[in-house]
Structures are given as C-alpha cells and as structure tokens.
Amino acid sequence: MRRYAKIMMFLLPAVAVSSLLPAQGRFIEKKEASLWFGVRDITRDSLANGANLDFLNYLHSSDEMAEYQYLGLSAHLWFRGNWEADFKVAMYDDFAPTSLNIKAIWMPYKYLGLTAGFYSYPQLMNEFNMFHRLSDEGWYGDTDSNFRQRRVHETGIMAGVAVPVSYRFIHLNLCLNGGISTLSKFREKVTQKMINGNMRREIRYSTKNSPALFFFPEAELGLDCFRIGSSTLGVRGHASWFTVKRSVDYKMTIWEWTYDNPMQEDVANPAHSFSKFEFDAGLYLTW
Amino acid sequence: MRIDIRHQAGGFAGALRIYSGRTMKVTLLLSVIFILKTITSCIDPAEWDFELSFNKITITNLDNSGFYPTETNSDIMYAPAVAFTVTLSDETILASGVNRRSNNSFTGFTPAYAMSPEPRYYPLNRITGISIVTLEAMSPEIPAGTDVTGLFAACVPRFNAPGFLYIDSSELLSAIDRDFYPDEPSVTFQLFCREEIAGDKAQFEINITLSDESTLSATTNLITLVRNE
C-alpha cells in the first residue's frame, strides 16, 4: 500500500509540472493541484465482550471531535473527451502517504458523470489485549506489557455518480460513491500465564478477509480567488462520509504448556457499524 | 661562494641521512615490539576447551506465582505452581576455578585481545536419562513412589528458547545433553509441575543417569502447598 502511495507522490507533481501543450488538441485540457489539511472523526459501535476477542471493538475512537489529522495533496485532470481523473493522497504526522482516493470520472452530460475508483486509508487498533486482561480471570491476560497497537488499512474499490456544478467563481462537485472494501488481514499473539500457577498458554490470531459494502458520499466546494494569467488560485473545502458494516473473523490457535498439540478454532464475530466523517480545507491552483 | 653553498648543502644532506636512518631504526624497533605484542596476544581457542565430569546436582525452589519464576528459599508453594531449578555441575572445576586468560602477556602495554572466546566444557560423562519420582502422594491415582517425569514441563534457559512456552519433559534430555557447555561447567534447567497436587505436601527425588553408568540424585525440600482462594 505504501509503495502505491509513494508512486502517487511522484505522479502528482509530475502531472502538475507537465508541459503546457497548445490549447487546441491537447490531451490534458485543464489541471488542478491542491494542498489541504483535514480532520477525520470516527464513530463505531462497541459490542459487549463475548466469548472471543472482537478486534473491531478496539478500533481507535474517542469522544474528541477528530481522532486523526492529516495533510493532503490532490490533483484533478480534465482530459479530452469528457474524461477526468482525481487523485487524492493524505498522510498522518508520520508523513507516510497512506490515504488514497483515486477516481476516474466520465462525464457524458454536463451535470452528471460516472465514477470508478480505488479508496484506502489506515486507522489504528489499540489495546485489543484488554479483552484478555478483563476476561481471563486467574491469568495474567497478556504478559506483553507494551502498549499494543497496530495499524489496519481499509481498502476498497468503488463506483458512483458525480454531479459537478459551476457558477462563475463557485465550483461544487458532489459524488455518491459505493463499493466493496476489506480490512487488511493481520496476525496477533497474546501470551498468558496463570496467576499462582505454572500453566502458560499462547493464543495466536490470524484474521480473514472481511469484505463489506460501503457507502461514501463526498462534497467538494471550490472558490476562485485570484487569476494570474491563465492560472487561478482558489480555496477549497471537502467533506465526506464513509459508512460500512462488517465483522472481522479469524482463525484462533491456542497452545497450552508447550508448542505441541495446538487447538484451532474458526471464530465468526458479529458485524459492527462503522462510520467516519472527514473535512479538509486548503488551496488550489488551476491552469 | 659556490663552494660554500655546496659545503652547506652537503652538511644538510648528511644530517638528513643520519636523521632518516635513526627514524628507520626506531620505526623498525617499534614494529618488532608491536608484532611481538600481537603474537603474544593471540589466543589459541583450543586452550579454552576443558573437560568436565558431572558430579554434583543441586535443587533450588522456584517461586512461580508471579509473571516469571524466581529462586526462593521458602518451602511454601502454591499447589498449581510447584517448580524447581536443577543444576548439574562439575564440583571440582567450580571449586578450583579456571584460569580464563593467558598469563604470558608482554609487559608494557595493557593486553588487548581481538577476541575473548568463551571456555567450552566437554562432558566426559554424558547425560543419558532423567527421572522424577514423587515421595508424597500427589493424588489417590498418583501414590508416593510413582515416576512422575511426564507430569513436568521444563525450561532450559540457556539452550532452548522456542518462545514463551515450556518444553515437554520428553524433550528435556535432548536439550541438556550437549557436546559441550559454553562458559560454565554446568547446565541448569527448570522443572514445572503440570498437575495441581491434591495433598498439602510435596517432595520429589530427581535422578540423572550418566553415560558412565553413575547416577546423580537429589531430593527436593519438603514443600508445603497452599491453594488459591
């Protein structure tokens, strides 16, 4: 995922600085590059602990307005023949360009188009070992005393409709996207020891694919502010909402005392509702 | 005037020749010292190989009620946490000590070694068997005098590290019987009882058989068992 994101990081500036061809018959008719800062707010349900660990109960979510902040770059290209492409890349404070929103747009009508694209973003899963610390009485629930945290990526493909509206210096673009996505698979290990006892056990989790349908509407508003030659500088705002309902199932393997004779179990967890709201604002340059 | 210059030039060349000759000699001498020093600093790894003969067995109680086992002098243990450390060693070597560094160092410089190999102890008598016998009844089904080796899990901290869990007692022999023992003329392993003992006392006899047909035996202290409330 990071590799694709890095390719995008090179692609965006390359597109931005590509030579300006003569207006007549040029392949790219118009270009836009943007820089923005955004916030991401996560809302998820937390189900009561059952017999098994449910990783989705531990996706990072808090009462704060926004769990994540990010810096983003984007490019929008208008091609000859009613085709458009939109590339958005965002990064957290680690400056790894891991959030991607890439769309191809076909505009058969002036105010209606069809979109198809790829969407991916990372989020944190924190302290999933708390399940064992709380549930497994008589045991040291997890002998790993570190803060248990891992990053998971939601990755999917999507399609939808786009409704662009422009009036003088105001540009509004609405997109209604839907698609199918999955949470990246991962492996985790929890080691336990009986309190006042010799028994030790090790539990290993290996999650499975978790495909689910998602709905992802977006609205983008741009206001042209200055015109310098053939270029236009403006401010932009973008808001989106993402909702999905999914479960994360896994294979659980338990060893007791020694690494001989493991017990294996396929665990199916209940589906969780999950949504995120994003808002970002910044500047754009069109030429 | 020309003669003077030539005379001065000749004197300077001579002084330079004398000076460079002295420098050469000093450099040569230092080089010889350095080479000698290097040679005497070399270590023959074979000199760090020793023979050992297991002739002592020591048992220490382990407190395994917490996260990690720690050695303890207490004879009170939780019934599900009965555990011991067993050490097999060569008392003779341990008592006499081993001269671990060559003494033929050349005076003048602090000896600097390119490497400090660990001593290796080759056993004259290999470990061929382990058995644990309970001296107290562990339950109605396990009376005193029963061989309970299979009821123990083990850990050999220096030689096997498969992960967080223990090894089975059947794997213990292959873990502790080694061609040589690095660093110390001894081998230590931990035994953890997998059975919660029903009675309120526990005592075990641990027997180690060796390739020279001798047996090392030791008995644990009489352990008083307490239960989780």
Q: Looking at chain A, which residue has its C-alpha nearest residue B165?
A: A258
Chain A: closest CA distance from residue B126 (Å)? 26
A197 touches chain B (CB under 8 A): yes
In the prediction, which pLDDT does B6 show?
Answer: 53
Contact B168 A258 (CB under 8 A): yes
A261 touches chain B (CB under 8 A): no
Facing residue for B78 by CB, picked from A191, A196, A255: A196
Provide, as residue numbers in chain B, all residues whose Cβ is less than 8 Å from the Cβ of A191. Answer: 164
Helix (H) or strand (E) holding B102: none
Q: Is-above-0.95 flag for pTM?
A: no
Facing residue for A197 by CB, picked from B78, B166, B168: B78
Instruction: Render pLDDT for B168-222 as a digit per residue (tens, 0 to 9).
Output: 999 999 999 999 998 888 999 999 999 999 989 999 999 999 999 899 999 999 9
A225 touches chain B (CB under 8 A): no
Provide, as residue numbers in chain B, all residues whose Cβ is less than 8 Å from the Cβ of A202. Answer: 163-165
Q: Please report which confidence band the pLDDT of residue B159 belongs to, taking 50, 70 and 90 as the band edges.
A: confident
Q: Looking at chain B, which residue has its C-alpha nearest residue A142?
A: B67
Closest CA to B83 of B67, B63, B111, B66: B63
Q: Please report which confidence band the pLDDT of residue A151 belongs to, taking 50, 70 and 90 as the band edges.
A: very high
Taking the CA atoms of residue A28, residue A32, residue A33 and residue A39 in that order, the dihedral angle to the nearest 10 degrees is -130
Instruction: Render pLDDT for A92-121 as a digit per residue (tens, 0 to 9).
Output: 988 889 999 999 999 999 899 999 999 999
Contact B165 A197 (CB under 8 A): no
In whole angstroms, what is the distance from residue A196 CA to residue B65 CA? 4
Q: How far is CA B24 from CA A12, A231, B12, B30, B108, in A?
A: 67, 77, 18, 10, 22
Question: What distance lies between CA B97 and its chain's CA centroid?
Answer: 13
Instruction: Render pLDDT for A195-209 as a digit per residue (tens, 0 to 9).
Output: 999 999 999 999 999
Closest CA to A58 of A158, A140, A132: A132
Longest dimension (CA), chain B: 122
Q: Going by C-beta distance under 8 Å and a sequence separation of 6 or more, which residues neighbour residue B16?
A: none
Q: Is the pLDDT of residue B46 over 90?
A: no
Q: What is the 3-state secondary structure (H, E, C) of chain A?
A: CHHHHHHHHHHHHHHHHCCCCCCCCCCEEEEEEEEEEEEEEEEECCCCCCCCCCHHHHECCCCCCCCEEEEEEEEEEEECCCEEEEEEEEECCCCCCCEEEEEEEEEEECCEEEEEEEEEEEEEEECCCHHHHHHCCCEECCCCCCCCEEEEEEEEEEEEEEEEEEECCEEEEEEEEEEEEEECCCEEEEEEEECCCCCEEEEEEEECCCCEEEEEEEEEEEEEEEEECCEEEEEEEEEEEEEEEECCCEEEEEEECECCCCEEEEECCCCEEEEEEEEEEEEEEEC
Contact B81 A258 (CB under 8 A): no
Helix ranges (DSSP H) in B53-135: 91-96
In the prediction, which pLDDT does A148 show?
Answer: 92
In the prediction, which pLDDT does B44 show?
Answer: 61
In the prediction, which pLDDT does B36 show?
Answer: 82
Structure tokens at A286: 């069109």
In the prediction, which pLDDT does B101 show?
Answer: 45
Q: Is residue A257 left, alpha or beta, with left meaning phi > 0 and alpha meaning psi from -120 to 50? A: left
Facing residue for B163 by CB, picked from A138, A257, A259: A259
Mutate to test the interface with B, among A258, A259, A260, A263 (most CBs of B within 10 A): A258
Complex ipTM, two decimals? 0.76
In the prediction, which pLDDT does B1 show?
Answer: 44
Question: What distance lies between CA B132 and its chain's CA centroid?
Answer: 24
Contact A143 B80 (CB under 8 A): no
Q: Please report which confidence band the pLDDT of residue A174 belongs to, taking 50, 70 and 90 as the band edges.
A: very high
Contact B165 A195 (CB under 8 A): no
Facing residue for A257 by CB, picked from B64, B65, B194: B194
In the prediction, which pLDDT does A23 show?
Answer: 46
Facing residue for A258 by CB, picked from B81, B153, B193: B153
Length of chain B: 229
Q: Is the pLDDT of residue A58 over 70?
A: yes
Contact B162 A200 (CB under 8 A): no
Contact B80 A258 (CB under 8 A): no
Q: Is the pLDDT of residue A14 over 60?
A: no
For the segment B61-77, the average pLDDT, to the nearest whole number, is 93
Greater model confidence, B37 or A23: B37
Contact A198 B165 (CB under 8 A): no
Contact A257 B81 (CB under 8 A): no
Structure tokens at B207: 């027997």
In whole angstroms, what is the distance from residue A207 CA to residue A211 CA? 12
Contact A199 B194 (CB under 8 A): yes
Q: Is the pLDDT of residue B23 over 90?
A: no
Contact B153 A198 (CB under 8 A): yes
Provide, as residue numbers in chain B, all residues whose Cβ is less than 8 Å from the Cβ of A255. Answer: 165
Pick from A4-13, A124-133, B112-121, B150-159: least confident: A4-13
Instruction: Render pLDDT for B76-117 as a digit per residue (tens, 0 to 9).
Output: 999 999 999 999 998 887 656 554 444 454 554 555 555 667
In whole angstroms, what is the distance from residue B54 CA to residue B216 CA? 8
Q: Is the pLDDT of residue B15 over 70?
A: no
In the prediction, which pLDDT does B102 show?
Answer: 47
Place of tokens 């790993």: A144
Q: Going by C-beta distance under 8 Å and a sequence separation of 6 or more, which residues neighbour residue B229?
A: none
Contact A193 B67 (CB under 8 A): yes
Instruction: Render pLDDT for A195-246 as a digit per residue (tens, 0 to 9).
Output: 999 999 999 999 999 999 999 999 999 999 999 888 999 999 999 999 999 9
In the prediction, which pLDDT does B76 show?
Answer: 95
